[in-house]
Amino acid sequence: MRVKIYGAGSIGNHLAHAARSLDWSVDVVDPDPRALERMRNSIYPTRYGKWDETIRQFDPKDQPKGGYDLVCVGTPPDSHIALARSAVAERARAVLVEKPFCGLDLDGAQELADEAAKAGVAGFVGYDHVVGRAARLACDTVLAPGIGEIATLDVEFREFWGGIFAAHPWLSGPADSYLGYWKRGGGASGEHSHATNLWQHFAHVVGGGRVVSVQATLNFVRDGTIDYDRLCLMTLETESGLVGRCVQDVVTQPPRKWARIQGTEGFVEWTCGHAPGVDQVEATLPGRISNVQRVAKTRPDDFIEELRHIEQALASDPARSPIALSRGLDTMLVVAAAHLSHQTGRCVKIDYSKGWVPAALAAV
Ligand SMILES: NC(=O)c1ccc[n+]([C@@H]2O[C@H](COP(=O)([O-])OP(=O)(O)OC[C@H]3O[C@@H](n4cnc5c(N)ncnc54)[C@H](O)[C@@H]3O)[C@@H](O)[C@H]2O)c1
C-alpha cells in the first residue's frame, strides 16, 4: 500500500508508524517546516525508538499526487473536508479522515460524500475504538444469546485534556489550536466524539439503527478568545426507540472511557484503559456471572489495527465498515444536534433524508 498523510502532528506520527509497521510506503505532507522537523527529530523517535528513513516528507507545493492507495487527513478538523476532497480529486483508492470529521458547520460534507461516491473512492473516519479488539469482543458478547432485549446504552469518554497538551508541548493551551473552539471541532463534544461514535456503533450492532433525537446540556468555557464546551451531556434516541446516554468531558481525572450495554437479562461493559495498557470487557449474562476478558494493547496498536481493518475493508465492502465515511458524518450530525439542543433548550430531531447538512437538524 502507498500512503500519503496530511499533518505531521500527533496523529500523523501514529498513522505513519502504523503504516510502516505494516510495511506500507509513507509520504507526509505539512506546510509547517517545524512540524516536519519535530516529527523527524522528536515525536517519532521518542515514541517509536528511531526515525524511519524511508518516510518521505513534503511541503504541500512539492507533494506527489496520484497513485496512492490511502490518503490520511490528520490535520485540524476545519481543514479536513478540503483535503479529503483533494484526495478524491487525485483519485486515491481510499481516504481516511481523522475525527471529528469536520467543523460544526458541516461545510462541504455532503459534497465530499457525493464526490467520493461518484469517483468510487472509499471513505473512512478515524474513530479507531470501534474497530479495536475490545469493542469487537464486546459486540460478539452482546450478539451471543443471553443478554435479552436491549434496554439501554451508556457511553462515557470523560478525560481531562492535560494529556493532550502534554503530548503537544508546543501548544500553551486550548487557545493555541482548534481544541479551544467548539465551532472548529474542539471542546469536549468534538475532541471526545469517540464516545458519540461508539454509542452509535453499539446502537447499530444491537439493531437500534441511527440516532434520530438528541437532548443535550453543555457547559462552556469562554473568555473572549476561547469558546469551548468542557462538558457535553446527551440523551439519545434511535429510530427503533432505543434510549440512552452519552457523556463527554475534558475535565475528569483520572479518565474514564467506558460503555455499558444493558439488556433485560444481563449486561456487557467495555472499558478502555481499565489498567495501563489493558482494555476490558466484562459481561454478566445468565450462567456467566462477571465474565471478564482483558485485551492487552498499546496506543500504537490501535492505529495498526485500524489500518489493517481498512486494508481488509477495501478487499470486501468498504461502505459496510463501522468506520465508513457515513459513520463519521452521522457522528457530526449528532454533535451538531447536541449544540443546537443546548442553544435552543429543545430536543433536536435528525432527518437523514436531507443529507449531511445543517438543515437535517430541527429543534422541536
Ligand atoms: N483517532 C484518534 O484517536 C486521534 C488522536 C489524535 C488526534 N486525532 C485527530 O487528528 C487531528 C489532528 O490532531 P493532532 O493532535 O495530530 O494535531 P497537531 O496539531 O499535532 O498536528 C496537526 C498538523 O497538521 C498540520 N496542518 C495544518 N493544515 C495542514 C494542511 N492543509 N496540510 C497538511 N498539514 C496541515 C499542522 O501544521 C500540524 O503539524 C484532529 O482532528 C484530532 O482530533 C485523532
Residue 287 pLDDT: 72
Q: Which domain holds residue 83?
A: 2-98
135 and 109 Cβ atoms separated by less than 8 Å: no
How many residues in the chain?
Answer: 364
Task: Tell whether 191 and 260 lie within a shared domain.
Answer: yes
227's grid cell: 469558546
113 belongs to a structural domain: no
Q: 361 in the Ramachandran plot: left (φ > 0), alpha (ψ -120 to 50) or beta?
A: beta
183 and 103 Cβ atoms separated by less than 8 Å: yes
The type of residue at 130 is V
115 belongs to a structural domain: no
d(CA 350, CA 210): 9
Residue 258 pLDDT: 98
CATH of the domain at 291: 3.30.360.10
Q: Which residue, judged by its Cα, is nearest atom 18 of ligand 1?
A: 9
130's grid cell: 470501534
The type of residue at 299 is R
265 and 147 Cβ atoms separated by less than 8 Å: yes
- DSSP-based three-state secondary structure for 212: strand
Task: Tell whether 143 and 93 lie within a shared domain.
Answer: no
How close is the Cα of 174 to the center of ligand 1, in Å? 14
Let me know the angle formed at the C-alpha of 136 by 194 and 124, rounded to the nearest 5 degrees: 50
How close is the Cα of 73 to the center of ligand 1, in Å? 8
Closest to 165 measured CA to CA, from 183, 189, 186: 186
How close is the Cα of 339 to the center of ligand 1, in Å? 23
Task: Tell whether 344 and 247 lie within a shared domain.
Answer: yes
> Dihedral angle at the C-alpha atoms of 115, 117, 120, 122, nearest 10 degrees?
100
Task: Tell whether 144 and 242 lie within a shared domain.
Answer: yes
Give Cα 224 to chain centroid, integer Å: 29
Instruction: Give CA separation, 34 vs 7, 40, 51, 83, 277, in Å.
Output: 12, 10, 16, 20, 31
Side-chain-side CA neighbours of 192 within 13 Å: the count stands at 30
Task: Tell whether 154 and 238 lie within a shared domain.
Answer: yes
Task: Tell whether 70 and 149 lie within a shared domain.
Answer: no
Q: Which residues line ligand 1 (CB under 6 A)?
A: 6-12, 29-32, 35, 60, 74-77, 79, 83, 98-99, 126, 128, 168, 177
54 DSSP assignment: T
CATH of the domain at 83: 3.40.50.720
How close is the Cα of 11 to the center of ligand 1, in Å? 6
Task: Tell whether 172 and 70 lie within a shared domain.
Answer: no
Alpha helices in 186-298 (DSSP H): 187-191, 194-205
Task: Tell whether 216 and 334 lie within a shared domain.
Answer: yes
334 DSSP assignment: H
Task: Tell whether 240 and 137 lie within a shared domain.
Answer: yes
314 belongs to a structural domain: no
262's grid cell: 444493558
Query: Alpha-carbon torsion 96, 215, 111, 74, what sign?
Result: negative
DSSP string, 89-138: HTT-SEEEEPSS-S-TT-TTHHHHHHHHHHHT-EEEE--GGGGSHHHHHH
Sequence-ordered strand ranges (E) for the chain: 2-6, 25-29, 56-58, 70-73, 94-97, 122-125, 150-158, 211-222, 227-238, 243-249, 256-263, 267-275, 278-285, 288-296, 348-350, 361-363
Other C-beta atoms lying within 10 Å of the C-beta of residue 169: 9
Omega prior to 276 cis, within 30 of 0:
no
Residue 24 pLDDT: 98
What string of pLDDT tens digits covers the 364 residues of the chain?
999 999 999 999 999 999 999 999 999 999 999 999 999 999 999 999 999 999 999 999 999 999 999 999 999 999 999 999 999 999 999 999 999 999 999 999 999 999 999 999 999 999 999 999 999 999 999 998 889 999 999 999 999 998 888 888 888 889 999 999 999 999 999 999 999 999 999 999 999 999 999 999 999 999 989 999 999 999 999 999 999 999 999 999 999 999 999 999 999 999 999 999 999 999 988 776 678 999 999 999 999 999 999 999 999 999 999 999 999 999 999 999 999 999 999 999 999 999 999 999 999 9
Instruction: Look at the block and give the residue holding cell 496520484.
Output: 66
318 belongs to a structural domain: no
d(CA 105, CA 248): 20
Side-chain-side CA neighbours of 93 within 13 Å: the count stands at 13
Residue 167 pLDDT: 81
Instruction: Give CA separation, 12 vs 28, 43, 74, 288, 325, in Å.
Output: 8, 10, 6, 42, 19
Residue 288 pLDDT: 67
Pocket perturbation via mutation, ligand 1, pick of 75, 125, 157, 335 by most ligand atoms within 8 A of CB: 75
342 belongs to a structural domain: yes
d(CA 168, CA 188): 17
Number of domains in the chain: 2
How close is the Cα of 145 to the center of ligand 1, in Å? 42
